[in-house]
Amino acid sequence: MEHVLGDKRSVAILVGPALLVYTLVMLVPIIWSLGYTAFEGNAVTGFSFVGMDNLTQLAGDRKVREALGFTLRYAAVITVGQVLLGYGLALLYVFVLRRYSSVVRTLVFFPIVLPTVAVALLFQQMFAIAPRDGLVNSFLNVFGIESVDWFGSGGTSFLVIAIMDIWRSMGFYGVLLYAGLVDIPEEVLESARVDGTRGWKLVRHIVLPLSLPVLVSAIIFSINGTLKVFDSILALTGGGPGTATTPLTIHMFQTSFAYGQYGYGSSIAFLLTLLCLIVTVFIFRASRRDLTKG
Amino acid sequence: MTTVELHTTHGRVGGGRQQRRGARRWRQRFKRWPAHLLVTLLLVVVCYPMVWLLLGSFKTQREFLENSVVALPEQWNFDNYVEAWTTGNFSQYFLNSVTAVGPALLVMLLLGTAAGFALEVLVWKGRNAVLLIFLVGIMVPIQMILLPLFTVYFQTGLTGTLWPLIITYTATGLPLTVFLMATFYRAVPREVFEASTIDGAGIVRSFFSIGLPMMRNALFTVGLVQFFFFWNDLLIALTFTNSGSLRTIQVGLLNFSGQYGTTQYGPLFAAISLNIFGMLVIYLVLNQKVQKGLTAGSVKG
């Protein structure tokens, strides 16, 4: 029977165009970009070969180290926030709201489909101080607290970024993890309840282990997304004040297009790619080990 | 006689049970007030920024400066929207986004579905390898392809057109589309396609006459999810088309904020509103498909 669906010409016609476009526009540029790391210059001025210079420079660059530090801090904080709050929401949907959760799910989910630029500008206005107070500062004033210059320091800027990104995404992770919780067989929960396991103990000993696979995939997805953060921070703080909230992606963008250093920009992009791969593989392996332990 | 008796008995017992159940439900509800408080708080936190935005988009500059947390606008006028749409050039930005995203979506869906079909339904050596090659595209950050593509677009003179966006969106959307479509085809029994090919239709023809139409629902879901990615993209659009007449709606909004940010709040709020509530309407109409598609994209990718 196999030969009926195994005609080579048909395979080529069906998979060929996609593979061609994908190879030309993504695979070749990935290799090409790796090649750029050995050059200096840009598309306008031309290139010159510098060998390993970019990579050695990368290792000792204070700005890159700061950007890397911010990226890791951001990824850690946002991933923990997104997945924890998302898990809390999922538990709320399954165990408290039950069948009535659909409206709440729908409403809490929607911010994820909104354009990040628009959301960032909205939050910029909400946390504004000058020339006029935004929603948050007005609210603080009502309680007799003085307005805070949220974007004036790296710490508070980071706080606003974290609030915004978690606000945007917790509903998405709620639905993602909800799908995992709904898959837990009702009999397992019922027999645990009969044994007298309830509340937090039920979650800790029954629900959590059984939802671990979907939890791990949520964490991997979250880290992968947060390491690549660009739009929301660029639109909210522009990486500032100074470079206090500049992740690798924005640093790479500025190095490449503001300063025209393609080789160095590609080296930063390469560092980012390595980071994504290492983190993903690391979490995947760690979770596999845990899963086999039970 | 018997039926009547049965009926009344049933009614009486049912009523009593209902009363008792009602009382219990009320007690349960009362016991669950912390949960309800939590949910209310949650909905306020999620929705209030939207309400504030919408109210603000109707306010005049003077009202903005006498700011307040809850005040309604004195008058509901659409001046800010008109200002943003015409003077702020959002009609042009909107058109640019449609022109870039529309063709990219169509081509990506067609190519991606054909490839997904070939990878899942057809039997050939090396399909796992090809699937793995597509997986690379999901893992590697877009930053890795920006500079080489910019060089090519610059040297071929395409940077003055919307082609770089159409091409780049099509390619970057392919990996996820191929994966999702392959997953959807996995649920279809192979016999369906075997039968149609034996009838002499040929595999390619049977894909177009049966394989593609069968995926109407999946195409819509995947297309919708990719639409959100393309429409909301800033990085690719900012890199390849940062000149006035080519700006997409996101790049336009970012620039608009730079020009108007601290001087004219009304038009800025209207511009943000246009972006946010447009998406919100699409989402509310199609929310089941959006939720399904977005979460499928993340777990399987």
Does the residue B245 lie in any domain?
A: yes
* Least confident among A180-184, A242-246, A265-269, B251-255: A180-184
Give mean pLDDT, residues B113-134: 93
- Return residues 15-34 of A near B (CB < 8 Å): 15, 17-19, 21-22, 24-30, 32-33
Q: How confident is the model at residue A29 (pLDDT cuts 50, 70, 90)?
A: very high
- Return residues 154-173 of A near B (CB < 8 Å): 167, 171-172
Does the residue B281 lie in any domain?
A: no
**Domains contained in chain B, number:** 1
| Nearest Cα to Cα of residue B147 among A61, A263, A231, A24 | A263
pLDDT of B28 reads 63
A110: Cβ contacts below 8 Å, ≥ 6 apart = A171, B46, B280, B283, B284, B287
Asked if the Cβ–Cβ distance from B143 to A224 is below 8 Å, we say no
Per-residue model confidence as pLDDT tens digits over A96-141: 888 788 899 999 999 999 999 999 999 999 999 877 888 899 889 8
Q: How confident is the model at residue B1 (pLDDT cuts 50, 70, 90)?
A: very low
* DSSP letter (8 states) at residue B211: I
Residue in A7, A111, A273 nearest the CB of B46: A111
CA neighbours closer than 13 Å in the CB half-sphere of residue B181: 34
Q: How confident is the model at residue B21 (pLDDT cuts 50, 70, 90)?
A: low
**CA torsion, points B70, B76, B77, B83, in degrees to nearest 10?**
30
Asked if the Cβ–Cβ distance from A18 to B114 is below 8 Å, we say yes
CA–CA separation, A209 and A89 (whole Å): 17
Helical residues (DSSP H) of chain B, grouped into ranges: 2-31, 33-56, 61-65, 79-82, 90-120, 127-139, 143-155, 163-186, 190-196, 203-206, 212-214, 216-232, 235-240, 249-260, 265-300
Cis amide linkage into residue A241, ω under 30° from 0: yes
Per-residue model confidence as pLDDT tens digits over B226-283: 999 999 999 999 999 867 889 999 999 999 988 876 678 889 999 999 999 999 999 9
pLDDT over threshold 90, residue B164: yes
Asked if the Cβ–Cβ distance from A221 to B301 is below 8 Å, we say yes
Shortest alpha-carbon distance between residue A73 and chain B (Å): 19
pLDDT over threshold 60, residue B3: no
CA–CA separation, A114 and B274 (whole Å): 11
Shortest alpha-carbon distance between residue A195 and chain B (Å): 22
Cis amide linkage into residue A209, ω under 30° from 0: no
- Identify the CATH number of the domain in which residue B241 sits: 1.10.3720.10
Asked if the Cβ–Cβ distance from A113 to B290 is below 8 Å, we say yes
What the block records as the tokens of B171 is 């390619």
Per-residue model confidence as pLDDT tens digits over B141-160: 999 999 999 999 999 989 88
Handedness of CA B215, B221, B226, B227 (dihedral sign): positive
Q: How confident is the model at residue B193 (pLDDT cuts 50, 70, 90)?
A: confident
| Nearest Cα to Cα of residue B112 among B164, B201, B192, B185 | B185
Phi, psi values for residue B230, rounded to 5°? -70, -50
Q: Give the residue from chain B lying closest to A17, CA to CA.
A: B111
The answer, for A119 touching chain B at a CB cutoff of 8 Å, is yes
| Nearest Cα to Cα of residue B236 among B141, B168, B174, B176 | B168
| Nearest Cα to Cα of residue B59 among B266, B261, B264 | B266
| Nearest Cα to Cα of residue B193 among A1, A19, A14 | A1
Asked if the Cβ–Cβ distance from A253 to B143 is below 8 Å, we say yes
**CA angle B258–B264–B265, rounded 5-degree value:** 95
The answer, for A108 touching chain B at a CB cutoff of 8 Å, is yes
pTM to 2 decimals? 0.90
* Residue A83 CB coordination number (10 Å): 22
- Contact of A74 with A225, CB cutoff 8 Å: no
Q: How confident is the model at residue B7 (pLDDT cuts 50, 70, 90)?
A: very low
Asked if the Cβ–Cβ distance from B137 to A262 is below 8 Å, we say no
* Residue B269 CB coordination number (10 Å): 26
The answer, for A97 touching chain B at a CB cutoff of 8 Å, is yes
Q: Give the residue from chain B lying closest to A45, CA to CA.
A: B151
CA–CA separation, B97 and B102 (whole Å): 8
Probe site for chain B from A44, A91, A113 (most B CB atoms < 10 A): A113
Does the residue A56 lie in any domain?
A: no
Domain residues for the domain of B251 are 92-255
Q: Give the residue from chain A lying closest to B227, CA to CA.
A: A113
pLDDT over threshold 60, residue A157: yes
Helical residues (DSSP H) of chain A, grouped into ranges: 8-22, 28-36, 53-60, 62-91, 101-109, 116-126, 135-142, 154-182, 186-194, 199-202, 208-210, 212-227, 231-236, 248-253, 262-293
pLDDT over threshold 50, residue A35: yes
pLDDT over threshold 70, residue B31: no
Asked if the Cβ–Cβ distance from B170 to A15 is below 8 Å, we say no
Asked if the Cβ–Cβ distance from B46 to A107 is below 8 Å, we say yes
- Contact of A168 with A258, CB cutoff 8 Å: no
B222: Cβ contacts below 8 Å, ≥ 6 apart = B109, B112, B176, B177, B180, B181, B293
Residue in B43, B139, B143 nearest the CB of A269: B143
Does the residue B22 lie in any domain?
A: no
- Contact of B265 with B64, CB cutoff 8 Å: yes
| Nearest Cα to Cα of residue A269 among A247, A251, A252 | A252
Shortest alpha-carbon distance between residue A18 and chain B (Å): 5
What the block records as the tokens of B148 is 């080489």
Q: B145: which chain A residues are within 8 Å (Cβ-Cβ)?
A: 25-26, 29-30, 33
The answer, for A139 touching chain B at a CB cutoff of 8 Å, is yes
pLDDT of B259 reads 80
Domain residues for the domain of A190 are 62-293
- Identify the CATH number of the domain in which residue A199 sits: 1.10.3720.10
| Nearest Cα to Cα of residue B224 among B139, B169, B299, B292 | B292
Q: A110: which chain B residues are within 8 Å (Cβ-Cβ)?
A: 46, 280, 283-284, 287
Q: Give the residue from chain B lying closest to A176, CA to CA.
A: B295
pLDDT over threshold 90, residue A34: yes
CA–CA separation, A96 and A93 (whole Å): 6
pLDDT of B300 reads 42
Asked if the Cβ–Cβ distance from A33 to B207 is below 8 Å, we say no
- Report the amino acid identity of residue A190: E
pLDDT of A105 reads 93
Asked if the Cβ–Cβ distance from B49 to A106 is below 8 Å, we say no
pLDDT over threshold 90, residue A273: yes
pLDDT of B17 reads 56
CA–CA separation, A25 and B108 (whole Å): 13
Asked if the Cβ–Cβ distance from B143 to A44 is below 8 Å, we say no
- Return residues 185-204 of A near B (CB < 8 Å): none
Does the residue B185 lie in any domain?
A: yes
Cα of first residue to Cα of last residue in chain B, in angstroms, is: 66
CA–CA separation, B48 and A123 (whole Å): 12
**Domains contained in chain A, number:** 1
* Least confident among A137-151, B2-16, B254-268: B2-16
Does the residue A3 lie in any domain?
A: no
Average pLDDT, chain A: 90
Per-residue model confidence as pLDDT tens digits over B49-69: 999 999 989 988 888 877 666
